[in-house]
Structure 1
Amino acid sequence: MAPAQRAFIFDMDGTIVDNMAFHTKSWITFFERRGHALDPDEFFRSTAGRQGHEIMRTYLGAHITKEESAALDAEKESLYRELYAPHRATVTGFDRLIAAAKADGVALAVGTAAPTDNVVFTLDGLDLRRHFDAIVGAADVARGKPNPDVFLLAAERCGAAPEHCIVFEDAPLGVEAARRAGMRAVVLTTTLPAEAFAEYDNVICVARDFSELDVEQLFATAAD
């Protein structure tokens, strides 16, 4: 019997690239223009991984139409790309880890709440798209994290069962989405400390960046 397909599924913002401070800054600026004063840390904890239209409806009202939300999303994301463009880079060790995973036959996927323009901005801007077997973004699923939709679709497109997938995340809502998908998770502390993930029993490893990680050791730990 052939061995089961294994997969790594990467969140994008805050995981492949260390950009969440720029996302948060753009959101804070966006809402300040509309008279909302928000605490950056609390905002991140409660929204990271959710889709833009979900965040808009939470803070601006459920009455917002799909068309209005799309226009607001475009404004906010344009502000984010302007802020982050000069700093765009992968997190330390990412290139080495995915090279090792590919050599080991591990499928690679992206599971992100980002809109299409931001996926293009990041993955194509850094010439990363060629490495992935599947890329799933906000346009591909109806619900953002903590719902498991984005990770389940990524696994399906890779031909991997959830129990053979490891998710890489930087946000609690993303780790919860992995848990609901039946997947183990690796946490990168690019944005929050390890303590923020203490309640999640699907976390198999916490690391500062990808340089601390080993492909076979991760799967061995996930199997325990």
Structure 2
Amino acid sequence: MGETDAPGGLGLPPTVTACLFDLDGVITKTAVVHAAAWRETFDAFLREREGPGFRPFSPHDYDAYVDGRPRSDGVRAFLASRGITLPERPAGGNADPPGTLTVQGLGDRKNALLLAEIRAGGVEAYPGSLRYLTAVRAAGLGTAVVSSSTNCLDVLRAVGAEDRFEVRIDGVVAARRGLPGKPHPDTFLAAAAELGVAPERAAVFEDALAGMDAGRSGGFGYVVGVDRVGQAAALRAHGADTVVRDLAELERSA
């Protein structure tokens, strides 16, 4: 399906009536903050486990195993890539302190680092994305944010974008409803359902390969890959109908 003149010159097919946006790397510049928190967490763990000759967590590891996935899924996927298995959580089911050598503990350590950066004002929105959101809403299209992050609402508030979305399906909502995270399409499908739109009439906007897989497998009408890190070919291989470096390019292409 090619790009055509959608209402408002949005660079989308005219059949699209709703836009479903990932948060980190699409709306906000938090992907780099997430990557740094993951790197610090995993490198400390690997250094303790393997000594000073450990192989550090890399940008490839972030893209392949962590980006776009729910936190615990990311921990499991990365550890599996290194042949490492950890317990899920402590015996008895109590929460472990951040840094405990369990899947939950490593995830909590990463989240503590991320929250510290958010509270220190280390979050920004992409200006082109905010302009595009304004144009989408002015054209009368539905809007939803779909994120695996449990900090989605805090991030939106930090950049003043909370009121830009009619629907929010994030890590908190997904856990409450028992929705599997990306690369499964369930969170995007839930957002479309809340907007009252069939998947084939919704566009998905994602920067993560897991998000591309979710958009394609969910049968959505259009999938936009947002390439912030030079992985355009991989985004297309995972199902993007078009790839842009910034959402503002969609308005210019319309």
Q: TM-score range by the shorter chain?
A: 0.7 to 0.9
TM-score, length of structure 2 as denominator length: 0.75
* The one of 127, 133, 136 aligned to 1:101: 136
Match of 2:213 in 1: 176
Give 1:114 shift: 0.5
The yes-or-no answer on 1:112 pairing with 2:150 is no
TM-score, length of structure 1 as denominator length: 0.84
Identical pairs, percent: 27
Match of 1:25 in 2: 36
| CA distances 1:30-82 after superposition (whole Å, capped 9, x unpaired) | 11222254332221222211111112334263531374455543321121233
Identify unmatched segments of 5+ residues in structure 2.
1-13, 48-54, 97-102
Q: Partners of 2:70 and 2:231 in 1: how far apart?
A: 23
Q: Partners of 1:196 and 1:216 in 2: how far apart?
A: 22
Decide which structure has the larger Cα Rg and report it. Answer: 2
Secondary structure at the aligned position of 2:237 is classed as: coil
| Aligned positions of 1:34-183 closer than 5 A | 34-35=45-46, 37-46=55-64, 47-58=66-77, 59=79, 61=85, 63-65=87-89, 67-68=95-96, 69-83=103-117, 85-115=120-150, 118-141=151-174, 142-183=179-220
Give the conservation status (yes or no) of the 8 Å contact 2:27–2:130: no
Give 1:4 shift: 7.8
Q: Partners of 1:90 and 1:33 in 2: how far apart?
A: 29
| CA distances 1:87-106 after superposition (whole Å, capped 9, x unpaired) | 42211312221111111110
Match of 1:194 in 2: 232
Structure 1 residues 195 and 216: CA distance shift in structure 2, 3 A: closer
| Larger helix proportion of the pair | 1
Structure 1 residues 145 and 62: CA distance shift in structure 2, 3 A: farther
Identify unmatched segments of 5+ residues in structure 1.
218-224
Match of 2:3 in 1: none
Q: Which amino acid aligns with 2:204?
A: V
Secondary structure at the aligned position of 1:9 is classed as: strand
Q: Which amino acid aligns with 1:193?
A: Q
| CA distances 1:148-195 after superposition (whole Å, capped 9, x unpaired) | 011011111111110011111111110111001111211111133312
Q: Partners of 1:20 and 1:44 in 2: how far apart?
A: 10
* The one of 4, 10, 13 aligned to 2:24: 13
CA RMSD, 1 decimal: 2.4
How many equivalent pairs are there?
212
Secondary structure at the aligned position of 1:97 is classed as: helix
